[in-house]
Amino acid sequence: MKREQITESLEESGIIAVIRLDDVARLEKIIQALSAGGIRALEITMTTPNAVDIIRSLARKLNKDFLLGAGTVLDTTSAEQVIDAGAQFVVSPVLNIDVIRKAHEFDKPCLPGSFTPTEILTAWQNGADIVKIFPATALGPRFFKDIHGPLPDIKMTPTGGVDLDNAAKFIEAGACCLGVGTSLLDKQMIANEDWPGLTALAKKFIAEVTKGRQLTPHS
């Protein structure tokens, strides 16, 4: 898929699951469980041991409708490595304009991290496909509404602190999709290989996204 198509798919899915796990067998099961629950995107962070090899292994096996991305990408070398391995999108906790440009060289979307209004606008003006607000824990849903007052066209996604209690609120406030980590990828469920439980949790998050979209003024 082209960059614009991938971005649209991330928005439509509503949830980007974020994980740090080096067990490829379990990751395959996790992806199956998430897919069954309606989630179609997973971000493997570069803080995962052997992340590039894991992305390469998973990318060969995945259904084309499921998007595999790389997170915690801090430099252009890492960006090129993960895209070569099969990552369909690149995420960073910080704003590195060169990483945005490198991802675009390969026609892949980049979601750089930003925290302040200046960083958010700078990211957007330099081609960010979606601006990742990180850490969203410190800001909350209201921040998205406040930013969209003067900057209504910027696509933003929160990462950090997103859970079932605030997921709909972030969407209602203007987030185009959500980055969700441990509140979705429950460590105990994964340890117990409770895949039906993980699917049920995924469905709950998708339901909250739907609820939030129904509450937005333009819906």
pLDDT at 137 over 70: yes
Angstrom distance (rounded) from CA 8 to CA 122: 22
**CA torsion angle for 13, 18, 22, 24 (degrees, to 10)?**
-10
Question: Residue type for 209, please?
Answer: V
Residue 8 annotated in active site: no
pLDDT at 63: 83
CA–CA distance, 208 with 185 (Å, rounded to integer): 16
Mean pLDDT of all residues in 30-55: 96
For the segment 90-106, what is each residue's pLDDT rounded down to a tens digit?
999 999 999 999 999 99
**Residue 2 burial (CB count, 10 A):** 10
Domain boundaries, the chain: 3-214
- From the list 102, 108, 132, 169, the catalytic residue is 132
Mean pLDDT score across all residues of the chain: 95
Query: What's the mean pLDDT in 174-185?
Result: 97
- 1-38 pLDDT, tens digit per residue, is 899 999 999 999 999 999 999 888 999 999 999 999 99
Catalytic position from the list 2, 28, 29, 43: 43
The CATH fold of domain 3-214: TIM Barrel (3.20.20)
Give the span between the Cα atoms of 209 and 14, in whole angstroms. 6
Indicate if 108 belongs to the active site.
Answer: no
Pairing of strands 41-45, 15-19: parallel
Residue 113: phi, psi to the nearest 5?
Answer: -80, 140
